[in-house]
Amino acid sequence: MKSCVIALFVMSCEPAPQADAPMPDASHEDGSPAETVAPQDGPARFVAEAIERHGGSVYERSRVRFTFRDFEFEIERDGGHFRYERRYADDQGRPVVEIMDNEGTRMEVGGERVELDPEELRRVETDVNSVVYFSFLPFRLLEPAANHRELGETEIEGEPYRMIEVTFDPDGGGTDWQDRFVHWIHRDENTLDYFAYRYHRDGGGARFRRAVNRREVGGLLIQDFENFRALQEPVADIAEFGQLLEEGGLELLSLLVLEDVQVMPLR
């Protein structure tokens, strides 16, 4: 796998990842994450095997810290209980903490809670949750709103893969439920090495990501991702991205890097 050095989610010529990285809501009305569905035979089983390969139950009972640009993240999941935090300093140098947990979403500035209007609340939830969601794929791909379909097998860069499509139901799939995802799961290693998605927000488009710099931290497989778009757009079917990579038909936009990752399993 290739690598280069650019800060996490720094975009060279596209908007911030939240603008083109839609994400299912996948939560209950009280804000707690939806439970993972027990896999059945078929494509869901391959997703379950990938989740297990990437760390399985460690992710569901752990505290994870990492750096994202100039933001510090801490995520904690313990069964149905969760807490996501993003920390940074505002333009005046005051510490800002954005928090999502079972009680809802809120912001603290300089240690004082501030009221968020609906637009600000949605921004915080999108910014925080999308980073957590995409940084830790394939976790959360077996939640109730997810639908799986096997698209067959293929080879990319000399390795065998199963292509698994994931779409989402309107109920529980979030505001971007109509977006489509294809995941390339290694047939023998069960690792998620590539994924592509077509999004509809902000005019729509498609992206392809390749995992790089895979390492194990505290029982989890941590990956960075190269972020590509097609040289010739639009792409008729995002399942063709693997072939476009082989043919040199993609443009590298950025490298998405998780830095200073710490994983602390909960006892």
Per residue in 94-122, pLDDT (tens digit) is 999 999 999 999 999 999 999 999 999 99
Judge whether residue 10 has pLDDT over 70. Answer: no
How far apart, in whole angstroms, are the C-alpha atoms of residue 259 and residue 256?
10
**Once rounded to an integer, what is the mean pLDDT over residues 162-175?**
83
Average pLDDT, the chain: 85
pLDDT above 70 coverage of the chain, percent: 82
Q: What is the pLDDT of residue 12?
A: 30
- Tell the residue number behind the tokens 């994924």, with chain if given: 195
Q: Evaluate if residue 3 carries a pLDDT over 80.
A: no
CATH code, 17-265:
2.50.20
Instruction: Indicate whether 174 pLDDT > 70.
Output: no
Best CA proximity match to 235, nearest among 222, 245, 225, 226: 245
Does 225 score more than 50 pLDDT?
yes
Contact 184, 190 (CB under 8 A): no
Cβ–Cβ under 8 Å, residues 185 and 151: no
**Residue 251, C-beta contacts closer than 8 angstroms, at least 6 positions apart:** 228, 229, 230, 231
- In angstroms, the Cα distances linking 262 to 64, 132, 220, 239, 265 are 6, 14, 10, 34, 10
